[in-house]
Structure 1
Amino acid sequence: MMDPYNFTNSPLNNNSKYEDYYEDYDEYTDLRKSVNIMSIIVYSLDFVLGVVGNGIVIWVTGFKMKRTVNTVWFLNLAVADFLFTFFLPLSVAYTAMGFHWPFGQFMCKFNSTLSLINMFASVYILVVISVDRCLSVVCPIWAQNHRNVSRASVVSFGVWLFALVLSSPSFVFRETALHSNKIICYNNFAFSDHNETLEVVELRSIRHRAMIITRFIIGFVVPFVIIISCYAVIIHRLQRNRSMSGRTGRTLKIIAAVVTAFFICWAPFHILVLIEMVNHTEMEYSSTLQYVTTVGIPIATSLAFLNSCLNPLLYVFMAQDFKVKVRKSILKVLETAFTEEASRTNTCTNSILTIQNKEKGSKSFSDAEV
């Protein structure tokens, strides 16, 4: 039996306690099992690719490249994605154990809050990158005089603080509870286990809707509008400036990739969560919408998680200087490793030859004695 405290068990989803929601759960048992297996596979893949990809970005932008405004943006973006993907095994274990949470209440709060911090921090770092690029194209002289590493660091700190504030309700409401011999991690929006009173149900429903709608507007609509607006201005300015026409094609491709990836990764999740919320706050319950959200939300969540793996590719690896640095750094590491290995091999060989020579000398001496 799936836990009745959540609509979907995604760490990104803020759901509360609606027991009547699961009256027809048996109808979807096999379907949920298949979707859960898919989620485990995708989460595991996201973990490997996200940790490796973002780890390389952190290593190169933090230690191998000269500190610039762009490397500050990319470093913070990579840190947000790395922290999120690093803790994905907790979600993998939770799903694999049939939504049993053995890691304690603090980690229940921490894991869900970290997921939302990653979502808000990543999205608004992308907003900052978009605004920064727009200002560099529209006001190049002003940007040249005012863009510096220290200000970029201050802006990045502000983004993290903003993301922390927006994610804090998850830390407040998230709790653990024992249900059907399993410890579940859920959102208790009313701070109460008494579902029978109308006041508690109403309070829980209001807070649930407020968090979903706020997250949709602040975490998706507003950033997406800003990003689209910035790149529309950039495209318009590049098309008017004939001297930059040679770079327009490449710029347009990067912009298209950025906007498309952002929209594809996050739009399905936010839309399906809104559908799920409406379906369970209306008087008429739709089994069709229930089926759609049962299948769709885990897939959309996996897609949203995938964004943390795509960011290094879309926002960093497209930069030519970064690719050169990565290639040189990796070649240097391999060269050092092979040199050390060759050195160890030669040392070992010399030692073996020395021992063999000593043994031969000792044997000859023994023979002479005989």
Structure 2
Amino acid sequence: MEERNTSGTFSSMGSSTPAWSTDSTTMNRSYYTGNLYCVTMYKVFSILSLIICMVGVAGNAIVLWLLGFHMHRNAFSVYVLNLAGADFLFLCFQIVFFLKQILLLFNVNSFYVPFYLTNLSLTAYLAGLCMIAAISVERCLSVLWPIWYHCQRPRHMSFVMCALLWAFSVLLSHTLQFGCSSQLSVHGYSYCGTVAFTIVVFIIVLSVIPCGFNLALLVRIFCGSQRIPVTRLYVTIALTVLVFLLFGLPFGIYGILVISKMKLPSIFSCDSSYITAFLSCVNSCANPIIYFLVGSIRHCRFQRQSLKMLLQRAMQNTPEEEDGETGSSGILESKKQPCVVVE
């Protein structure tokens, strides 16, 4: 993997071409051309990532504003609110990182980024992943065990879970920073690799959980004895999970392995970090687009409405035929099962 120096270019580009060998001259020219291609790709992806991050920050800010101050919150919208907050913070940190890289490309070295921002960025990433897993589990429980969900589920479970998931994400990211930055070792054994491997496994497990629960829900919807209608909320969750698996997961695994200073293979002879960072920005930017896109579709047609109404409809947990029954809160709960106490 190529290392970039303080000027933002690849360090290998500073090597001179020997003049005593025609073969070595040809090889070095080819090597220089390859490095020039990598630098060009790095510049393009850095600029595109910065633009996408700005769009994503605006989109997640709108979701935070609407869910936080203008809409009634239910169990699912609490997770969406925290997911938007995690994406907002992650994109803000990515803007700082990409802005620094772009300035380095123009030989501006006065832009200082504190090291703790990397830790905060990892915290936001892990928190977003936890929210996706939590909302998938919550939705599956509401369908597979509706009586328990509506009768015995704690009232403030969503708020408590979000607080615990944020605390767990902070603890996990600080553990990685402490284990790798301080280079703790006992009898020559370093804890950095162990901590990094543990977090990578944790990310993979958290990525499998939404897939498993959404698959179980899909089987229950189409193969169950009682027909369960597909709601907009299910479509929103399914698209969010799919986008994360395609665009968000590679960044987490690659980034933690880089932090642990492991040697990783490069893609197309170039540094792969800018590609995974670009994909992560797409993932965080796509979530608000998913909400408004799902909310704008009604009876297989797009409708123009306010952003508040679109977000309300994307969070609806009722079939499309019941859209007209939306009350003043704007967010429909699924029809509650009667609480029957068996003596």
TM range, normalised to the smaller chain?
0.5 to 0.7
Count of residues paired in the alignment? 283
Report the Cα distance in structure 2 between the residues aligned to 1:276 and 1:228, rounded to whole angstroms.
26
Q: Do structure 1's residue 190 and structure 2's residue 171 form an aligned pair?
A: no
Tell me the residue number matched to 2:251: 269
Contact 1:54/1:309 (<8 A) preserved: yes
Q: Do structure 1's residue 35 and structure 2's residue 16 form an aligned pair?
A: no
Contact 2:90/2:121 (<8 A) preserved: yes
Cα RMSD, aligned residues only: 4.0
TM-score (normalised: structure 2): 0.68
Tell me the residue number matched to 1:127: 133
Judged with a 3 Å threshold, the aligned counterparts in structure 2 of structure 1 residues 214 and 97 are, in CA distance, closer, same or farther, namely farther
1:61-80 equivalences in 2 (<5 Å): 61-80=67-86
Q: Do structure 1's residue 232 and structure 2's residue 250 form an aligned pair?
A: no
Match of 1:215 among 175, 182, 199: 199
Contact 1:61/1:75 (<8 A) preserved: yes
Match of 2:151 among 145, 169, 172: 145
1:261 shift after superposition = 0.9
Code of the aligned partner of 2:134: V
Q: Give the percent of matched residue pairs that are identical in Structure 1 and Structure 2.
A: 24
Match of 2:101 among 95, 101, 118: 95
Q: Do structure 1's residue 307 and structure 2's residue 307 form an aligned pair?
A: no
Instruction: Determine which structure has the larger helix proportion and give its number.
Output: 1
Judged with a 3 Å threshold, the aligned counterparts in structure 2 of structure 1 residues 147 and 43 are, in CA distance, closer, same or farther, namely farther
Report the Cα distance in structure 2 between the residues aligned to 1:249 and 1:60, rounded to whole angstroms.
21
Report the Cα distance in structure 2 between the residues aligned to 1:312 and 1:35, rounded to whole angstroms.
27
Judged with a 3 Å threshold, the aligned counterparts in structure 2 of structure 1 residues 25 and 215 are, in CA distance, closer, same or farther, namely farther
Tell me the secondary structure at the aligned position of residue 108 of structure 1.
Answer: coil
Contact 2:46/2:102 (<8 A) preserved: yes
Code of the aligned partner of 1:90: V
Judged with a 3 Å threshold, the aligned counterparts in structure 2 of structure 1 residues 76 and 290 are, in CA distance, closer, same or farther, namely closer
Report the Cα distance in structure 1 between the residues aligned to 2:284 and 2:39, rounded to whole angstroms.
25
1:46 shift after superposition = 2.4
- Bigger-Rg structure (1/2): 1
Deviation string, structure 1 residues 44-103 (Cα, Å, up to 9, x no partner): 222221111101101111111112112211111111111222233321222123387645
Unaligned runs of 5+ in 1: 10-20, 174-186, 192-198, 331-370
1:31 shift after superposition = 3.3
Deviation string, structure 1 residues 307-363 (Cα, Å, up to 9, x no partner): 111122335753579x96625699xxxxxxxxxxxxxxxxxxxxxxxxxxxxxxxxx
Match of 1:57 among 60, 63, 67: 63
Code of the aligned partner of 2:52: D
Contact 2:60/2:88 (<8 A) preserved: yes
Tell me the residue number matched to 2:307: 326
Q: Do structure 1's residue 47 and structure 2's residue 53 form an aligned pair?
A: yes
Judged with a 3 Å threshold, the aligned counterparts in structure 2 of structure 1 residues 154 and 271 are, in CA distance, closer, same or farther, namely closer
Report the Cα distance in structure 1 between the residues aligned to 2:98 and 2:261, rounded to whole angstroms.
27
Tell me the residue number matched to 2:173: 167
Report the Cα distance in structure 1 between the residues aligned to 2:272 and 2:244, rounded to whole angstroms.
18
